Amino acid sequence: MQRHFEEELEKLKEKLVLMGELVEGMIAKATLAVNQQDPSTKESLYQQEERVNLIQIEIDELGISLIALQQPAATDLRFITSAMKINNDLERMADQAVNISQHIVQATEIFPQEIFNMLDMISQKAQAMVKDSLKAFLKKDLALAQTVLKRDDEVDDLKDNICLWLISYMKENPEKIAGSIDLLIVSRNLERIADHATNIAEDVIYMVAGKDIRHHILEKQ
**Alpha-carbon torsion, ordered 162, 164, 165, 170, to 10 deg:** 120
Reference 78, options 220, 219, 221, 209; nearest CA is 209
- 51 touches its own copies (CB under 8 A): no
Rule CB under 8 A: which of 188-207 touch its own copies?
Answer: 188, 199, 206
Q: How far apart are CA 15 and CA 76, in angstroms?
A: 17
- 20 touches its own copies (CB under 8 A): no
Output 139 or 215, the one with its CB closest to its own copies.
215
- 184 touches its own copies (CB under 8 A): yes
Task: Give the range of 7-15, 28-36, 124-132, 181-189 binding its own copies by CB under 8 A.
Answer: 181-189
Output 92 or 125, the one with its CB closest to its own copies.
92
In angstroms and rounded to an integer, the radius of gyration of the C-alpha atoms of the chain is 19
- 170 touches its own copies (CB under 8 A): yes
DSSP character string of 154-167:
HHHHHHHHHHHHHH
Q: How far is the CB of 125 from its own copies (least distance, A)?
A: 20
DSSP character string of 92-149:
HHHHHHHHHHTTPPPTTS---HHHHHHHHHHHHHHHHHHHHHHHHHHTT-HHHHHHHH
Total residues binding its own copies (CB under 8 A): 35
Output 143 or 174, the one with its CB closest to its own copies.
174
Rule CB under 8 A: which of 61-80 touch its own copies?
Answer: 61, 63-64, 67-68, 71, 74, 77-78
Per the rule left: phi > 0, alpha: psi between -120 and 50, beta: everything else, 180 is: alpha
- Contacts to its own copies by CB under 8 A: 53, 57, 60-61, 63-64, 67-68, 71, 74, 77-78, 81, 84-85, 88, 92, 163, 166-167, 170-171, 174, 177-178, 181, 184-185, 188, 199, 206, 211, 214-215, 218
